[in-house]
Amino acid sequence: MITYRSFCSPPELLSLLIERFNVPTPKTFQQPYVTYNRSTVGYISCIRSPVVRHTKVQPCLNKSYSLYYETPAFYTFQNDYKQPIQLRVLAILNLWVTYHYYDFTTNPTLLDRLKDFLNGDYGKIRFMPKQKVWCEKIQEKIKKKQEVYDIVPPTPTLTNSSTEAKSPTQKNIPKTLWDRAKPGQIERYHLKSLHPVEIARQLTLLHFSMYRAIKPPELVGAVFNQSDKHVRSPQLQKFIDHINDLSFWVARCIIEAETLKERIGLLSRILEVMTEFEKLNNFTGLMAFFSALSLQPIYRLSETKSKLVKKSREQLANFTKVLSDAHHKGIIERLHSINPPCVPFFGIYLSKIVFVEAGYSTFVKLNQRPPT
């Protein structure tokens, strides 16, 4: 249900599933036992039918009819072939709604089409008892999903610390830490005036919310590398743009420092924030800050780095050893050794997806052997 977008769209998939559900019955499984014209009225004995012995014939002024009886092969086809296929289609629809409901939130027409099908498609479909159970189950899940997606987060109304302490939802939130900049002094908010722990906390919360907003379809087929990437993978592009902006902002803070002492203080503060990122398992924040330190204008500030205290120099050497590997082996080892929650570095997975797409194409040209 994740990779189907590489060969069809969600509306096409739903149409194909509905078409598959409506398995046609071969005509060879139904044999005519009597034919009557429009003047026939009354009862006709169905001698050849193994199921129905008498059928009342309704008069019709314009048409002639043929009555059919079902052969034993018809019931074999119904029980062993058609009904299992139909139940499998309903199971796939249930899986789609349960784990990939975002397809329907972005396309209301698709959701309306699914609801019409589950309700019998205006009388065109007659569900069996087992199939009705599946349909009711899927409809109930749709209802619950809609309730979740329609919830609007409540506006915070807390005005003092005592109320905040009594709120059960706020009970485990740590106390906000302040440095030189105090609450409400927005014009003084800067990398050197805010507490490093609070900077790391707030950025980690932001990165986590942006990370979880990325949906699987934004990665299928490496659409994030195509010309319409801002349309097909909007949340991923928003995340990437934020990380790039964050890296340039950190580098700018260092470059704009007017004195050597100020640059040393800013670099020390950056290393303190990176240490907090490491404690919070925010590898995205770590890479964003380290990328800023790897830019040429910052990388060649050898005198500034030499003036750092011993603890800061050790921190810088440790981060350089872990994060400078082009294959991200250090980050991967850390990911395997930590306990979640965490915010992984997304670049690792994007590189692997691009590699797979380049090495194993979805479509193979004629006379072209696939890679072994």
Give residue 148's pLDDT.
80
With 70 as the cut, is the pLDDT of residue 34 above it?
A: no
- What CATH class does 182-359 carry? mainly alpha
Q: Which of 122-126, 155-159, 340-344 has the lowest mean pLDDT?
A: 155-159
What tokens does 264 get? Answer: 């040393």
Query: pTM (2 decimals)?
Result: 0.68
In tens, the pLDDT along 81-129 reads 999 999 999 999 999 999 989 889 888 899 999 999 999 887 788 898 9
Distance CA 11, CA 343 (A): 33
Q: Which of 250, 327, 256 is nearest to 293 (CA)?
A: 250
Band (pLDDT 50/70/90 cuts) for residue 75 is confident
Give residue 9's pLDDT.
87
Q: Are 209 and 286 in contact (CB under 8 A)?
A: no
Tell me what percent of the residues of the chain surpass a pLDDT of 70.
Answer: 80
- Tell the residue number behind the tokens 């749709």, with chain if given: 142
Q: Are 267 and 255 in contact (CB under 8 A)?
A: no
Band (pLDDT 50/70/90 cuts) for residue 244 is very high
Q: Which of 17-21, 44-48, 304-308 has the lowest mean pLDDT?
A: 44-48
With 90 as the cut, is the pLDDT of residue 205 above it?
A: yes
In tens, the pLDDT along 288-322 reads 999 999 999 999 999 999 999 999 999 999 999 98
What is the average pLDDT across 53-72? 49
Residue 254: how many CB atoms within 10 A of its CB?
22
With 70 as the cut, is the pLDDT of residue 17 above it?
A: yes
Give residue 227's pLDDT.
84
What is the average pLDDT across 36-46? 43
In SS3 terms, 183-210 reads as CCCHHHCCCCCCCHHHHHHHHHHHHHHH
With 50 as the cut, is the pLDDT of residue 258 above it?
A: yes
Distance CA 372, CA 370 (A): 6
**Same fold across 3-149 and 182-359:** no
Distance CA 5, CA 20 (A): 18
Residue 78: how many CB atoms within 10 A of its CB?
15
Most confident of 6-15, 237-246, 331-340: 237-246
3-149, what's its fold? Answer: Son of sevenless (SoS) protein; Chain S, domain 1 (1.20.870)
Give residue 70's pLDDT.
58
CA distances 366 to 7, 81, 356, Å, are: 18, 35, 21
Mean pLDDT computed over every residue of the chain: 81
Q: Are 372 and 17 in contact (CB under 8 A)?
A: no
Distance CA 134, CA 150 (A): 24
What is the average pLDDT across 163-172? 50
Distance CA 236, CA 286 (A): 18
What tokens does 68 get? Answer: 């059919």
Domain ranges of the chain: 3-149, 182-359
With 70 as the cut, is the pLDDT of residue 349 above it?
A: yes
Q: Are 134 and 86 in contact (CB under 8 A)?
A: no
CA distances 24 to 16, 17, 28, 273, Å, are: 14, 14, 12, 65
With 70 as the cut, is the pLDDT of residue 23 above it?
A: yes
Helix (H) or strand (E) holding 57: strand 54-57
What is the average pLDDT across 4-28? 88
With 50 as the cut, is the pLDDT of residue 162 above it?
A: no
* Cα radius of gyration (the chain): 32
Q: Which of 105-114, 172-181, 264-273 has the lowest mean pLDDT?
A: 172-181
Give residue 152's pLDDT.
46
Give residue 168's pLDDT.
45
Band (pLDDT 50/70/90 cuts) for residue 372 is low
Give residue 170's pLDDT.
55
What is the average pLDDT across 139-153? 79
DSSP 8-state code for residue 43: E
